[in-house]
Structure 1
Amino acid sequence: MEYIKFRDIDLEDVVSLFYETVHSVNSKDYSQEQLDVWAPKDEKDTKIETWKDSLNQNITYVAKINDKVVGFSDLTHSGHLDRLYVHKDYQGKGIASALVNILETEAKKLKILEIDTEASITAKPFFERLGYKTICLQTVERKGVKLTNYQMVKKIEL
């Protein structure tokens, strides 16, 4: 297992992993309709275009096994943990924890005092185990479909 900074050559694998993970791992907590608006398969090419800039601007790391992307996460320079996804076949192996730990270490270097995220129902227990506190439950709407998630935050000790 290696954890490396995101490179453009990882872009298509990262976006594919996002789609696969949402439609498999999150299916226990969200309906098919909700999954389809969260990760619409007909927007995959657009997502590749739009994510390229943000993944490069943010602090982004990928987890790889034998050069295969099995997880990724990114943090904005203002302390927002934007995306955290681990391949369905590699859940529960410490990959997400390692990625978050790397981002928290980077946040300390940048003197970011807290990290916030919007955690899915599926991810909420994971973030709680890492010391993130729920600020509030929220409902977001995409294409007329409501999705529940949680605003969460963690203070970073410098």
Structure 2
Amino acid sequence: MNIRPFADQDLADIVALFTDSVHQIASQSYTPEQLATWAPRSPDLEQWRSRLSGVKTLVAESRGVLAGFISFTSAGHIEFLFTAPSFSRRGVASLLYKAASQRLAARGVTKLTTDASLEARPFFKYQGFKVVGEQTVEREGVKFRRFSMSGSSGAENRHSYD
């Protein structure tokens, strides 16, 4: 598995991976209406380009195939952490999390935060994150349940979950 920085040519693959991941992996916890709102089947690539321009993104590749990605702010907020359904539960999310956590710790960031979906909550809990609060967010009139979580970039929280 190769972890490397995001490049512009990765955009379409990242958006496709995100869409597939939401519709296949999160389908156990969210309704079809929620999934369609969260990850439209015809995504706006320019909106994604804008979203990713404000964060650092790392991608995981296996034999030239995108296996997952993580995006985070310089302050330690994890915006995205998704794996391709075909790479689910094979350690990709753990590798990406570890790489991001190490980069942030090297910059002196000790507190990490995220807004975790119902599917992502167990992963972050295993990484040592605690639920700060439950949230209900609304997009296009559709409500979603998620969790505000915080953790540490310290080595004591690094486990393999998936």
* TM superposition score category, shorter chain reference: over 0.9
**After the TM superposition, which residues 97-108 of structure 1 pair with which residues of structure 2 at under 5 Å, given as runs?**
97-108=94-105
Once the two structures are TM-superposed, the CA of residue 58 in structure 1 deviates from its matched residue by 1.9
Count of residues in correspondence between the two structures: 155
Which whole-Å CA distance do the structure 2 matches of 1:129 and 1:152 have between them?
Answer: 12
Per-residue CA deviations over 1:6-62 (Å, capped at 9, x if unaligned) read: 1011110000000010001000000001101111223x1x2x212224434422110
Aligned to 1:60: 57
Match of 2:133 among 132, 136, 158: 136
**After the TM superposition, which residues 32-111 of structure 1 pair with which residues of structure 2 at under 5 Å, given as runs?**
32-42=32-42, 44=43, 46=44, 48-111=45-108
Which whole-Å CA distance do the structure 2 matches of 1:136 and 1:14 have between them?
Answer: 29
Once the two structures are TM-superposed, the CA of residue 68 in structure 1 deviates from its matched residue by 1.2
Per-residue CA deviations over 1:88-131 (Å, capped at 9, x if unaligned) read: 11111100011000010011111112110000001101111111
SS of equivalent residue, structure 2 residue 78: strand
Question: 1:18 is aligned with what amino acid?
Answer: F
SS of equivalent residue, structure 2 residue 119: coil
**After the TM superposition, which residues 16-31 of structure 1 pair with which residues of structure 2 at under 5 Å, given as runs?**
16-31=16-31
Segments ≥4 residues shifted beyond 4 Å: none
Question: 1:112 is aligned with what amino acid?
Answer: V
TM-score (norm: length of structure 2): 0.91
Q: Percent identity?
A: 34
Computed over aligned residues only, the root mean square deviation of the Cα atoms, in angstroms, reads 1.4
Is residue 122 of structure 2 the alignment partner of residue 125 of structure 1? Answer: yes
Is residue 3 of structure 2 the alignment partner of residue 3 of structure 1? Answer: yes
Question: 1:126 is aligned with what amino acid?
Answer: F
Match of 2:148 among 141, 146, 151: 151
Which whole-Å CA distance do the structure 1 matches of 2:140 and 2:54 have between them?
Answer: 27
Contact 1:19/1:39, CA 8 A, preserved across alignment: yes
TM-score (norm: length of structure 1): 0.93
Considering fraction of residues, name the structure with more helix. 1
